[in-house]
Structure formats: structure tokens, C-alpha cells
Structure 1
Amino acid sequence: MSSHDNSLKDLNTFSLEAQASQVITATRREHLTQAWQIAKQHHQPLLLLGEGSNVLFLDNFAGVVVVNRIKGIEIAETDSDWRLHVAAGENWHQLVCYALEHNIAGLENLALIPGCVGSAPIQNIGAYGIELQSLCDYVDILNLETSTVQRLPAADCQFGYRESIFKHAYRDGYAIVAVGLRLAKQWQPKLTYGELSRLDAATVTPRQIFDSVCAMRRHKLPDPALTGNAGSFYKNPIVDAQRVASLLSQYPNMPVYPQPDGQSKLAAGWLVEQAGLKGYRIGGAAVHQQQALVLINQHHATSQDVVALARHVRLCVAEKFSVWLEPEVRFISAQGEVNAVEALS
């Protein structure tokens, strides 16, 4: 366990200026519980961070930030599946690369998603037709008070669209320390989204899907190392059939993705773009010119700039489409996570 500079600028991909009372890097499970005890002794909040790729710091954090860097990947197999046990501090994209290098397919659609493995089940990350819940076997969670580890089967994780039990019952006082993945040896390519639909399912390889996904993401999305951002700022809204019919009567070219429950998912980026907001700027924050779903730190933005822009985008989309966008990014105040929708209301 190591303590270092209390600046959070390099620990959030928005690259916003913020400070914490203390920043600790954890490389073993006991470091997490030790940090918990330090925070309790000083009556301060504790915030667990992976790579800060999905957070917006609203203020300086009045407590202890723990950066999870617990590493390790174990591979086992059955006749039908590959089983991966992955420590929470592993980089997600590097895990995808590692799997391909070991001839294990199934993660390639999720290439280049930023962040650590431990963050993946919290958001139930997904892209190009695949969500983590379809691959997850279990999640190991550490009780920071008792130092005990509980294995939660995927069926108990309450996965939904960018949703899980880890945003609720296991949000405070717990840390994800490992994720178990189950990948079928009988590989079936998922080619339903974007440029992937042009690939031939009969001949395509996992590496070709990986390369295509990487090319699409690099073309559309800004690199956080060059331009501060947290990826997709808003969730794609899910609306009922009546609302979809009404919208399609006005906007027949609107992208619509039917869901198994009869509702439909709309493309939030398309809604923002149709509201005429590409490139729109408030202070140092702007809507990205190529992918309107992404808000960027264009020039020394403050958190207030990003919040003001996010609120403006949300209001403009609501006025045009009567659809309220919900942030995917986690909003972090001085005392911890707050409700993002309330923060923008």
C-alpha cells in the first residue's frame, strides 16, 4: 500500500482538477481494509477508484481515495468453457487482448472499453451487442469491515442496462476484488451493430471483430489521454412502444433497438446530435464534434462547466423529443457519490 500526491487530476479521465484528503494505491486485498480503517479513524468518506474512466468529480473529495491495482489472471477450462478469474485492478482492454493471445474468444466486442475489470460489473458494461452479464460467472466482493470475501453468482448481481446490485446494496463498505468470466469454447460471433454487420459470420475470426471494434471506437471516440472525457456521458434511453410510435411518426429515420420486454432503446447520441448540439460549448466543456454522446474537457474545463453543459444537453433533448437522458457517468461530491439526475435537475 502506498500513499502519494493527493491530486485526482491524473486519476479521472475527464482530467479535471480535484484533490482528496489522501490517495492510497492498493495492490493487495488487505490494503483495501487498511484504507477503510484509516477513513473510519478520521471520520472521512472512502472512494474506490479503478482508472477513473466513469466519474465526474464535482468538488474536492473530503476523504480517502483508494486506487485498486490488485492484479492477476487465472485460466481454467472445462470441456465446454473457458473460465477466467480476473483481479479487479486489471485493465479491461488488456484483459481482452490477453484472452485473444491465449486463443480465448468472446470478449472481442468489448475491446477498448476504458477502465478496470472491477468496474465492469458495476456498470454491466456493454458494446456492439454484448453486455458483461452474458459472460459473467461470479463477482467476488470484499466486506471492508470484516475482511471477508463473498462470491456472488451472476444470477444474484441484478444486472440490467448499465445497472447492477453493486450500485445499491453493495455500494458502501464493500469492494469488488475479482470477477469470474465464463466463455464458451463453441464461439458464436456477435455481428449486429455498426460495421460488424458487414462481416461474414461464416468466415469471421475473433481477431477481425476485435480489429473492427477498435477501429470504430478510435474513429468515433476521443482518446482520454489526449482529450479529457468519460466516454458515453448518457445512457441510451429505454421507452415504451407508444412513445416509440409517436417519435417514429415525427422522425422516421430515428434509430430504434427493440428490447425483449417490448420496450425500445433509443440512441442517445443521435438525440443529442438532432438537437443541434455537436460542438456546443459551455466554458471549457464541449459536446464532441464526432460523437455527440461524449462530453469533453476541451480547454481547462471545471466540473461546473461539465455539469452546466450536461444540464443544457439534457434540457434541449427533453424539449425536442420529450425524452429525459440519464447520465451514465457517476457524479462524485465531497462526501461521495450523489444522484446524477438530481444533480442536473
Structure 2
Amino acid sequence: MPSLQSHHTFSLQANCLSIVEFNSADAFISAYNQADHAYILGEGSNTLFLEDYQGTVLVNRIAGINHFDTESHHHISVGAGESWHGFVSLCMQNGWYGLENLALIPGSVGACPIQNIGAYGVEVGKFISSVEAVLLTSGEKIIIKSADCNFAYRDSIFKNELANKVLITQVNFVLPKMYSLETSYGELSKLTAPTAQQIFDAVIAIRKSKLPDPAQFGNAGSFFKNPVVTTSQFETLKSTYADIPGFGVSHDETKIPAAWLIDQAGFKGKVFNQVRCHPTQPLVLTNLGNAQGEDVVTFAKEIICEISRKFNIKLEPEVRLVGAKGVIDLV
């Protein structure tokens, strides 16, 4: 059985029945139809294989980047197997701006619409015009317009109605030539009249200073979503925890940084067997070298339970946890 350790950035020891790479929709359909059970993988930056997977892992290598522009916009079509950060870097080199806040996010382009990746005040759904995909049941090729993707915070149609029903083959972006830079979030607010390139460079520097390198300590980036609570619940919490941070997402909802909650609950830097809550960014769990899937699950559940007890907030994993038969639910 081939090893999956190098195919996901958390680097847990796990195997599968076979690994097949594909570089086109037709090649995928052929491989998928031959597999009894299949899990579709990009760069493995948001997946944890908790144990041996009893099926075939299909790795998306669909490449290609095509661009044309109009008077007001850049139109870019990108193969789902392309590196996300590589694509953002190419945009910067060519003066196609808008995605600079999303620099250095690991993973493939095909993964970006699934959880509507976001960072530093920007979500990718804002720039997606459509997503091209293949229906797993029939092999039919479809195009889903942005308005039908149901983009929300760390959410989309691909995590709900179309979950485990499609393969994303291409993502089509539209970047406006005239737009305002987003500098209101976090450390970017300290920048004075920055250019898009300066924001890109600052985001990379910030992420490198806070987040562990998967090559050194296996990890999947943010392990948990930032919870969204009612504004009234947030105000109640603020009466007890005066310094609790929050960001309004609507007139009656507030997003609370999960890292702050985890830190306040005493998990920052804590180690359980070979799994550590990162000492500079507690939202990240890391593999210290020989972590086991059951260690990750036990530690994550401990964090979830304590946050629920202390703050009456239920944390949800952002990562996909894969067991012997496929994706499993931690909560």
C-alpha cells in the first residue's frame, strides 16, 4: 500500500490502496470509474489522513493559466491543479491585483472555492466569476456561476449541496483594474498608503512569522474556523472578557478569532503526545514528528470541549479529516 505521508502537509503516517494522478477531466473520469472508493486530493494542505484509507486517492494535476483583459477587468482561467500561491505570485508579476491579501495560503486553486478561502479582510469568492466541474455520477461537465456558488465565510455550495458530488477542474477569476486595497484587517492597518506589492510582501512576512513551515512541523494551517456568534452573545462575553476581539460580519453577527479563545483556554503551546498547539499561533495544530491520527482527534476534541465549557461557543474544524472510508465528522 503506497504511503500518503508526503501527500498531506500534516504528514501523518497513513497508506491507501493506490494513488493516481490525473491532468485532465477525461483522465479523472476514467480513473474515478475504475476505483471502488476514491478520495480527491489537491496539495493536501487542508486534509488529514487519520488512518489507512481503504480506497484510491486521486491527485488533481490539471494545469494551465489563461488570461485576457477588457477595458475594466482581467479575466483569468486557472486549472484546478495549479498552486494557489504560485497563481497569486503570477498575478502580482503581471499587475493583476486583488488577490494580494491571500498570498502564501497553501493548497491548490481547485480547493479555493470549496471553503471560500480568505485572509486579512478578503475572501476569494469576491473574484470568482464561475467554477468548472465534473459530476461524479455521470461525468457531465458543468459550469457554476459565482452567484450560484453560495459563497459565505469558509463555506460554499461545494461543502453542502455539491459536497462529494463534483470534481472542480477549473476556476475562472475576474479582477477589476480599478479597486481599493484592503488594509483594515490586523497588521495591515499599520501600513501607510501601501501598494499592492507591499501588501503582498507584508502578508507573506506576517504569515511566515506566525505560522510553522510544514516542511519542519507538519500542519494544515488553521485547524479550526473562527466562530460566528450573535452580537448579543458577543456583548455578553465582552461583559466578562473585556478584551475579547470581534469583527462584525452583519448587523447581528460577530466573528471571534478562534486563536484568542484557544489561547485564553490555556492551550497555546500545549503538547499532547506528538501534537502541539503552536506557541505563536494557537489556531494551528502541528505534528512534532510522529503524531498519530488518534492523537490529533483526542487533542482537537479536548480543545472543542473546553471552549464550549468556558465560552459556550462550539468550534468547528476547518480541515477535512479522512478515515478509512472517507471524510469523518469530529463534532
Q: TM-score, normalised by structure 2?
A: 0.97
Residue aligning to 1:141: 133
Distance 2:58 2:99 in 1: 28
Read off the aligned partner of 2:113 and give its amino acid letter: P
Quote how far apart the aligned CAs of 1:200 are. Answer: 2.4
Quote how far apart the aligned CAs of 1:57 are. Answer: 1.4
Residue aligning to 1:256: 246
1:223 aligns with 2:213: yes
Residue aligning to 2:25: 29
Distance 1:197 1:95 in 2: 25
1:74 to 66, 71, 85: 66
Aligned residues: 331
Distance 2:72 2:329 in 1: 42
Residue aligning to 1:13: 9
SS at match of 1:121: coil
Quote how far apart the aligned CAs of 1:134 are. Answer: 0.8
After superposing the two structures, state which structure 1 stretch, 120-129 or 332-341, moved more.
Answer: 332-341
Distance 1:175 1:149 in 2: 9
Residue aligning to 1:273: 263
1:150 aligns with 2:135: no
Does the 8 Å CA contact 1:26/1:32 hold for their aligned counterparts?
A: yes
Does the 8 Å CA contact 2:12/2:50 hold for their aligned counterparts?
A: no
Does the 8 Å CA contact 2:268/2:278 hold for their aligned counterparts?
A: yes
2:317 to 327, 337, 344: 327
Name structure 1 gaps, 5 residues minimum: none
Quote how far apart the aligned CAs of 1:261 are. Answer: 4.1
CA offsets 1:199-219 (integer angstroms, 9 cap, x no match): 223xx2111000000000000
CA offsets 1:28-71 (integer angstroms, 9 cap, x no match): 222210111111xxxx2211000110112122111110010110
2:91 to 86, 99, 104: 99
Matches within 5 A, 1:1-345: 6-39=2-35, 44-201=36-193, 204-341=194-331
SS at match of 2:85: helix
Does the 8 Å CA contact 1:56/1:330 hold for their aligned counterparts?
A: yes
Where does structure 1 differ by over 6 angstroms across 4 or more consecutive aligned residues?
A: none
After superposing the two structures, state which structure 1 stretch, 17-26 or 27-36, moved more.
Answer: 27-36
Quote how far apart the aligned CAs of 1:172 are. Answer: 2.5
Does the 8 Å CA contact 2:16/2:55 hold for their aligned counterparts?
A: yes
CA offsets 1:143-195 (integer angstroms, 9 cap, x no match): 23433311100110111111111112222342000001111000310001122
After superposing the two structures, state which structure 1 stretch, 100-109 or 311-320, moved more.
Answer: 311-320
Read off the aligned partner of 1:76 and give its amino acid letter: F
Does the 8 Å CA contact 2:301/2:330 hold for their aligned counterparts?
A: no
Q: Percent identity?
A: 42
Read off the aligned partner of 2:208 and give its amino acid letter: R
Distance 1:173 1:240 in 2: 32
Distance 2:96 2:160 in 1: 32
Read off the aligned partner of 2:283 and give its amino acid letter: L
Q: TM-score, normalised by structure 1?
A: 0.94
- Tell me the C-alpha RMSD between the 2 structures: 1.1
